[in-house]
Structure 1
């Protein structure tokens, strides 16, 4: 009998492996560093070479591999899938979003609407579908969402397009979960809280260094849980 491990079966003696899509800065960059600190092997994507992500990889003794990806490009997604052939993942995490300011929908152009929806809703789900077969049974697929996408909590004015894009993301993830309900993957939408990033602004109450370790705790604690959950950084359910 061969002692080789079947490619779809996690080897408990091997390090956990994660792919973080959208990790060049902000929450994604801190998540990569946090997972690496916890002993994960990490593949992280960036739209452009260099920067802090590559600098971190240079100091992590092979535990962090950087790949180039423009997530909105189906061709680049397919190329990344090819480069990762044979890579088995315990976690696939998609972190990507843009914001085009606090405009009422009456002032949002069709081009702006399309750009934000493609980046924040369509592309993350295309990414999951392109890369999901790399995730081992019992592994996790997760997307960075936001409380801003909660329809029931939309009780204050402002950021209408961003809120709509996150609500669309949540709905598409619900459809994804229904379509792939029997694949054995844990499925998560994560609300990290309002953080001081380029997207969140300088006046946000949280720093990524505060919120992301809690997010990593949730990812690790929920591994193997069935179905789809929309959770905050404390592991509490966020209302849809």
Structure 2
């Protein structure tokens, strides 16, 4: 039986690290990236250095991965942005940093790494949020963060023509409200619970094709 292979972009902590650990524990061969030091993690994970906002580092990663193909490439990126979440109080630099990290760089990374995703059965997954949905987030909770993830969903839709042509599956994933630095200690889900659910979805969606907005628990979300 062939070992499944995953590339997790952004796994230094939180859900990204949790997912790398869960997949490694389930027998996957995992490659993961970190911006700085290698975190304490499950054994056997191959660690590479990447800051997704730096084009030269994205290029170097692509060169390191030349000729390799993965069953799953999961791009986990997310910053909360200005704590006040008010457009009127945000500087242009703050907004650009938010959208660069949550929207533009993840999609650039996904597009650049598409040749490394297996055709027909491979999955490209991007970390989104239920807050990104106009239907699911009727009160505009955390509007700046939500807007950056809504833009991610739309740009991912623009990538779907390429993934469809290769028979790949494209997922925008909602991780739930999780006990991370961003989610806070009052969140109902542990990192392990969220990551385990995401890992289940990666297994369930292999070979399905199309572009889907799905929760860690398998719930299909409204765009």
Q: What is the TM-score with the length of structure 2 in the denominator?
A: 0.95
1:217 is the counterpart of 2:183: no
Structure 1 runs (4+) deviating above 6 angstroms are: none
Contact 2:11 2:33 in 1 (8 A): yes
Partner of 2:53: 72
Structural mapping, 1:124-163, within 5 Å = 124-137=106-119, 138-163=121-146
Distance apart, 1:174 and its partner CA: 0.7
Instruction: Check the 8 A contact 1:15/1:39 in 2, yes or no.
Output: yes
Shift of 1:214: 1.2
1:24 Cα offset (Å): 0.3
Q: Normalization by structure 1: what TM-score?
A: 0.89
Rounded to whole Å, the distance in 2 between the matches of 1:39 and 1:147 is: 29
Root mean square deviation, CA, Å: 1.2
Q: Which has the larger radius of gyration?
A: 1
SS in 1 for 2:165: coil
Map Cα deviations across residues 77-98 of structure 1 (whole Å, 9 max, x no partner): 1100101112221100000110
1:26 counterpart (14, 17, 36): 14
Q: What's the offset of the Cα at 1:226?
A: 1.4
> Which segments of 5 or more consecutive residues in structure 1 lack a partner in the other structure?
1-12
**1:148-227 alignment, distance < 5 Å:** 148-227=131-210
Gaps of at least 5 residues in structure 2 are: none
Q: For residues 145-167 of structure 1, give each alpha carbon's deviation from its aligned partner in whole angstroms, at most 9, with x where no partner exists.
A: 10010111222254211010000
Q: Residue 79 and residue 153 in structure 1: after superposition, are their counterparts in 2 closer, same or farther (change >3 A)?
A: same
